[in-house]
Amino acid sequence: MHLSSTLCFVLLHFYVASSVVLLRHHHNNNNPNHNRSPILQGNQTSCALFIGTWVYDETYPLYQSSSCPTVDAQFNCQMYGRPDTEYLKYRWKPSNCELPRFNGVEFLLKMKGKTVMFVGDSLGRDQWESLICMISGDVPKAQTQMSRSYPMSTFKFLDYGVSISYYKAPYLVDIDTVQGKRVLKLDDIRGNANAWIGVDVLCFNTGHWWTHKGPMQGWDSVEAGGTMYEDMDPLVAMEKGLRTWARWIDANIDRSRTRLFFQGISPTHYDPNEWKAGASTGSCYGETSPVTTTPMTVTYQRADSDQSNVIQTVIREMDNLPFLLDITLLSTMRKDAHPSIYSGDLNSQQKINPNKPDCSHWCLPGLPDTWNQLFYTALFY
């Protein structure tokens, strides 16, 4: 198959997947029993939100990290010495429409008195901090309050009664300590989910932690169906956990009260062969611009797609369907947007010898701002 044909197939596959979600939302929003804003103005399926290109825009970024005290050191690339700024200047342009520009005042007015919560792993925290910064940039004199704790941290815009929280639950389902061992309970979610009841907007994510091994693995054993396992295929475990989450959502979330979102898989960029054929060494370190050629988008059919397929399969079978923020492909193009060695979480030796840069998380300002622009679009337009 020619490269261009392969690319067309990949783009069509994910456009169709996203369109299915949009279509079903359109159907549900026409139900008078559901008090929902339309997903998009006009023909709600005419805009392929997640298929497009990155365009250089001098009006970006939308804020400066120096003016946003909530940015963690891990994501604060400018503070920790990143010398280039071009990566801050790219705007996502869907192929057949324009995204509305983010407006923090509008967000707060439309969400007045309401709660927003991001639930998942550190990619959800990346997006949570981004949204706070984006809003704060438009209301710099607003009265605010911040509380950080485990598993939930909350930022409040007091003048508007808006609370934006992050709840850490990398697997969504529960992890309990049993006889000194961490047990990942694929059938149980009550310990985490009690915190999600009554929230007005919920945005979930999971993915990376399911594949962690060795010291990075977050559990010692897995329990499913009353049986304990020392190991389990990560995709099988992920699907079981997501189905537990989906059953809880269908049984406990009131659609007339709560808007539901699910963030797609956030890609990593540790293998330069994905965008530079024949590369023998390297990673995201030193990358300063997005991918604009086709090989990178074709390689979207890699490990990320297996997890994406699990998410899409589970979501399609839910009664209480979340809006899928299918950010994987557009994020795959952004090999330039990671902290690399410019992270406050790295020690001085790691920064001098960058063999293990952070090519998983994202700089702020940066790519998660686009995730939130898409979130904003789906929420209000």
Give me the sign of the Cα torsion angle 287, 288, 291, 293: negative
Q: Could you give the CA distance from residue 18 to residue 22 in angstroms, rounded to a whole number?
A: 6
Q: Could you give the CA distance from residue 236 to residue 365 in angstroms, rounded to a whole number?
A: 35
Using the structure block, give the residue that is written with the tokens 């390689």: 299
Tell me if residue 361 is catalytic. Answer: yes
Which of 122, 130, 163, 165 is catalytic? The answer is 122
Q: Helices 122-138 and 367-380: crossing angle, nearest 10°?
A: 70
Tell me if residue 254 is catalytic. Answer: no
Tell me if residue 122 is catalytic. Answer: yes
φ, ψ of residue 56 in degrees (nearest 5): -75, 130
Instruction: Please list the alpha-helical segments (H only) found in 300-364.
Output: 303-316, 328-332, 348-352
Which of 304, 326, 336, 358 is catalytic? The answer is 358
Helix (H, G, I), strand (E, B) or coil at 182: strand
Report the half-sphere exposure of 27 (CA within 13 A, side-chain side): 9
Q: Could you give the CA distance from residue 107 to residue 374 in angstroms, rounded to a whole number?
A: 13
Q: Which residues are known to be catalytic? A: 122, 358, 361
